[in-house]
Every structure is written in structure tokens, then in C-alpha cells.
Amino acid sequence: MNYIYEKYGTRVFELIREYMQKKRLIEIDKIVKYILAALSKEGENINKNGIENIINQFLLERKIIEGSGLLHENVLSNEKRNLIFPSEKSTIPNHRRNEK
């Protein structure tokens, strides 16, 4: 992980949650503008590229799902979606864990 992610990652994720409470889909270009505006109001000095890098890391970690109205934590709260998007802790889907 890099410095920008470590410094701003938690706050960016909080802002994504805040954005999602308005029942919007995750559209990267719109959410970047939202986060950039919010962080600028807070006096934080981060540019668009930094925010995009953090969001790309969230996409890689599957914390957010582009084009969806769901965060990773919401996906895992539903049993059927949990089968589709298993936790990183295990590569064995939940319905198959008990078979072994």
C-alpha cells in the first residue's frame, strides 16, 4: 500500500458510504467528484489521481463493486450474494465449506 492510501483510505471509504446512503450506484467518475469536493471542504490536499488510486485499490480488494449500489460488507450480509462473492478469507464458497 502507498502513503496516499494509508492516509486517506479510511476517510474515502467513509465518504463512499455516505454517498451510498443517498441510494446511488457506484459510478467512479461521479464518486470521485463527490469525494474530491468533500475532502477539499475539509482542507485536505489530495488530487483526483490520488482518489482514483484509492478507489481502484478498493475495487481490487472487492470492498466496492462498480455499477452496483452495494459495498462488500453489504454483499456478505446476504447469504446468496455471499455465495457469489466469497470472503477473501477463504476461496471455498460458504455452501461448500461444510462438505469438507
Does 8 have pLDDT greater than 60? Answer: yes
Q: What pLDDT was estimated at residue 65? A: 76
Please state whether the predicted TM-score (pTM) of the whole model is above 0.85.
no
For every residue of the chain, DSSP letters joined together read --HHHHHHHHHHHHHHHHHHTTT----HHHHHHHHHHHHHHTT----HHHHHHHHHHHHHTTSB-TTSS-BHHHHHTSHHHHHHS--TT-SS-HHHHTT-
pLDDT greater at residue 57 or residue 63: 57
pLDDT category of residue 21 using cuts at 50, 70 and 90: confident
2-23 burial string, b = 16+ CB within 10 Å, else e?
Answer: eebbeebbebbbebbeebbeee
Q: What pLDDT was estimated at residue 1? A: 58
Domain boundaries, given as residue ranges, for the chain: 3-69
* 97 touches 90 (CB < 8 A): yes
pLDDT tens digit sequence for 59-96: 888 888 776 665 555 554 556 655 555 554 444 444 44
pLDDT greater at residue 55 or residue 25: 55
